[in-house]
Amino acid sequence: MSIKKSILSTAGTLVLAISSLLPLSAQAQLKIGVTLHPYYSFVANIVGDRAELSPLIGAGYNPHGYQPQAADIKRASELDVIVVNGIGHDEWAFEILQAAGREEDLPKIYPNNAVALMPTSGKDQTANAHTFLSISASIAQVYEIAKQLGTLDPVNADFYRTNARNYATRLRQLKAEYMPQIAALDTSKFKAATMHGAYGYLMQEFGLQISAVVEPRHGVEPTARQLAETIDEIKSTGVTVLFAEKYFASKLADTIEAETQVKIFSFSHISDGDYTADRFELDMRQNIEELLGALEYSASLNADNMSNN
Amino acid sequence: MSSTELVKPSSSKWETLVLIAGFGLLLAATTIYVLTFGREEQQAQLEVWQVSAYDGLSDVDQAVYNALYTAQEDIGWIQYELGPYPDIATLEDYLIAPFAKDLSWANTGRVQWHFRDVVQEGEMQGYTLYHGNGGSAPDQSAYLLVLGHLHSGYVLANHNTIWIHPNPNQPMPKNSTQQSMILEGWKNVVPYLGRDELERLKGSSN
């Protein structure tokens, strides 16, 4: 080896060694992948401009039963870390990581590691993976993400923690904004069904329960017999409102409405549209407003019944 | 004259037996497979003084527990930032459930919360307690969040536990050693975390 080559080789090794000792912020920003819209919002609010965010799949795809594309594999190959649900809502992400050869080496943040799970409402008693469809459970996930990112990027750990706390406060304020209106209503006879068994966490944090779920399993439409059973259940339990899916069209809701005279409201699954920092807040606001509308409707039925008696 | 001729087997005995044997074999193979490779129980075996947050609590208890489980993280972070442990009024100001007196609080029985700051002596030394009782919802319990912080500055890593008592009016325990609380009838609530589900599904939570 010539002296020139030897010097270059030694210099290259030194540069690599020094760069590995530098804090992450001095080298490059973390490139963080996310699988779901809520995670994009959570991470964007935690990291601000100190990390780069990259959704693993493009906007506009339904995360239920998503089929991986070639572009996803390229994106996965460029990530430093990924935030992934991992308990049943984004199994396609693992296929993408495997195809990109990143399944083993890519650090993964599982926000649900810090969340106490509950069973899915209705007949499907598997663990409910939709922890991001609630304020409280989302706050727990925001904290977990901030903690794990702080471990990977210790220079910015305090920044992430402060942002996580501020974001959590904002989310709580969002919920609190509607509490006086909801608290003024008679919710004692509120009985609701949902198309999708996802909303147990959301209802629970308002102290409400779901009486029936139309889908027998996550993302699976009921058979004619199952639908008939659910209609009977709705009638026998006195359900008066049905929460359909805002972005997933279904004729089932219309059929159930015609059969049972329930009034239809719609929840957002927060899995559609552009990935933005405020997506979670915007969609959760809509969900709480829909819930408020349903509670007002239920309270008006109670008032009518009282006056008729 | 009909062109259809009915052909009967000389004996249907063997075909029936083979079919039954085949069905039995299939059933046995399926049973062995399920027993060997089937899903594990969602939660590890609990002790008699423990109860599962996943499927062992009433609806109202589960709602209070899940709120308390998230709140313990907030409490740790507030203490980390401000120094003292937040009292109930502070947690209400932060709108933190289950302490904030909002609709959720009303729908989950209007539990009265009490705060006992770092205990300096006796068997409860080194603990901070958040105790809730007096709730009026059906199937309501009393609740206790025990924050252990033997060394200040290590709060976020310390071990916290949540307990429930079937008597909704149960007072705060005088001794918070595990044994004395169990003797008083308190049960330790064990969460089923996303980490547990990940391990069940993928064999690892990393």
Instruction: State the pairing for strand pair B187-190/A81-83.
Output: unpaired
Instruction: Using an 8 Å CB-CB cutoff, list chain B residues near A137.
Output: 66, 70
Contacts of B198 in chain A (CB under 8 A): 86-87, 110, 112-113
Q: How many CB atoms lie within 10 A of CB B27?
A: 10
Nearest to B194 among A110, A205, A206 (CB): A110
What pLDDT is attached to residue B203?
84
For chain B, the straight-line distance linking the first and the last C-alpha, in angstroms and rounded, comes to 77
DSSP of A262-280:
PEEEEE--S-SS---TTHH
- Please report, in tens digits, the pLDDT of each residue of chain A (309 residues total): 445 445 444 544 443 444 444 444 445 799 999 999 999 999 999 999 999 999 998 877 766 667 788 888 999 999 999 999 999 889 899 999 999 999 999 999 999 999 999 998 777 778 999 999 999 999 999 999 999 999 999 999 999 999 999 999 999 999 999 988 888 888 888 999 998 888 999 999 888 889 888 888 777 788 888 889 889 989 988 899 999 888 766 788 888 888 898 999 999 999 888 999 999 999 999 999 999 999 999 999 877 776 776
Tokens 């008066």, residue located: A240
Residue that has been written with the tokens 């290590």 in this structure: B154
For each successive 10 residues of chain B (206 residues), what is the average pLDDT?
Answer: 68 74 83 58 78 94 95 88 90 94 91 85 71 96 86 50 96 82 94 94 80
The answer to whether the beta carbons of residues A52 and A28 sit under 8 Å apart is no
Separation CA A239–CA A221 (nearest Å): 20
Shortest CA distance from B157: residue in chain A: A147
Cβ-nearest to B198 among A86, A139, A179: A86
B70/A176 CB distance under 8 A = no
Q: Are A53 and A42 in contact (CB under 8 A)?
A: no
| Residue of chain A minimizing CA distance to B70 | A140
| Contact criterion met (CB < 8 Å) for A182 and B95 | no
CA distances from residue B99 to A24, A106, A125, B160, B182 in whole angstroms, order as listed? 39, 39, 29, 18, 25
Of residues B108, B198, B205, nearest to A207 (C-beta): B108
Nearest CB to B95 within list A86, A140, A173: A173
Q: What is the per-residue pLDDT for B198?
A: 92
Instruction: Output phi, psi for A258, to 5 deg.
Output: -65, -35
Residues of A in contact with B155 (CB under 8 A): none
Task: Note whether B86 and B79 are within 8 A (CB).
Answer: yes
Rounded to the nearest angstrom, the minimum Cα separation between A24 and chain B is 22
Nearest to A206 among B94, B103, B197 (CB): B103
Q: Residue A196 — left, alpha, or beta (φ > 0 → left; ψ -120 to 50 → alpha)? A: beta
- The nearest alpha carbon in chain A to B78 belongs to A165
How far apart are the CA of A141 and the nearest CA of chain B, in angstroms? 9
Distance of CA B164 to the CA centre of its chain: 11
Mutate to test the interface with B, among A204, A291, A298 (most CBs of B within 10 A): A204
Strand pairing report for B142-148 and B160-165: antiparallel
Return d(Cα B95, Cα B102) in angstroms, integer. Answer: 9
CA distance A162 to A157: 9
Assigned token pair, A123: 């007949």
CA distance B20 to chain A (A): 30
Nearest to B66 among A116, A143, A179 (CB): A116
CA distance A143 to A124: 29
CA of B3, closest CA in chain A: separation in Å?
42
Q: What's residue B35's pLDDT?
A: 57
Exposure b/e, A33-56, CB count within 10 A at least 16 = b? bbbbbbbbbbbbbbbeebbebbbb
Which residues of A have a CB under 8 Å from any CB of B? 86-88, 108, 110-119, 127, 131, 136-137, 139-140, 143, 161, 165, 168-169, 172-173, 175-176, 179, 182-183, 187, 201, 204-209
Give A168 to chain B, closest Cα distance, Å: 9
Neighboring chain A residues of B108 at a CB cutoff of 8 Å? 207
Pairs across A and B, CB distance < 8 A = 114
Please indicate whether, in this complex, the C-beta atoms of B104 and A206 are within 8 angstroms of each other. yes
**Do B194 and A88 lie within an 8 Å CB cutoff?**
no
In angstroms, the CA A176 to CA A168 distance is 12
